Amino acid sequence: MKTGSSLIGLLLVMLIGALIYLQMGPMVPQVATPGNPALGGGSPVDQAWAATCLANKAGIQTAVQMYNISHPPMKDLDMNSLGGGVRLPDPKGGCQCKYSLSANGNVVCSFHK
């Protein structure tokens, strides 16, 4: 009797673990996927540049929002107006990102789209 209840308990724990895994799996963000250059797929260096681009876009977007609080909304991205709070990587290091504002005011990268 004791081995039967242990086996049932083990199966129950495995079932709960599988359900948790299936629920959490789709929630993991995929920054870089192999074969998708827009998300940095390919070499580890390309993946690192894609992650850097995402971080840069988030920083620029925050700076644009802060600028828009006390100025008329920015239509074209002007990095000089945003102040020194946004530091971008040196293009000589291999960064091919060029940032601009979309029609709805979001920061976009011409390379990673």
Question: Taking a C-beta distance cutoff of 8 angstroms, is the pair 99, 60 a contact?
Answer: yes
The pairing of strands 107-109 and 99-101 is antiparallel
Greater confidence (36 vs 17) lies with: 17
> How far apart (Å, rounded) are the C-alpha atoms in residues 36 and 21?
25
Average pLDDT score over residue span 90-111: 83
Kindly state the percentage of the chain with pLDDT values over 90.
1
* 8 Å CB contact between 53 and 60: no
Range in 67-71, 88-92, 98-102 with the lowest mean pLDDT = 88-92
pTM of the model: 0.59
- φ, ψ for residue 109 (rounded to 5)? -110, 130
- Answer yes or no: are the C-beta atoms of 51 and 95 closer than 8 Å: no
Reported confidence tier of residue 2, pLDDT bands at 50, 70, 90: low
Q: Which of 70, 68, 77 shows the shortest CA–CA distance to 107?
A: 77
Does residue 106 sit in helix, strand or coil? coil
The pLDDT of residue 41: 59
Does 51 score more than 80 pLDDT? yes
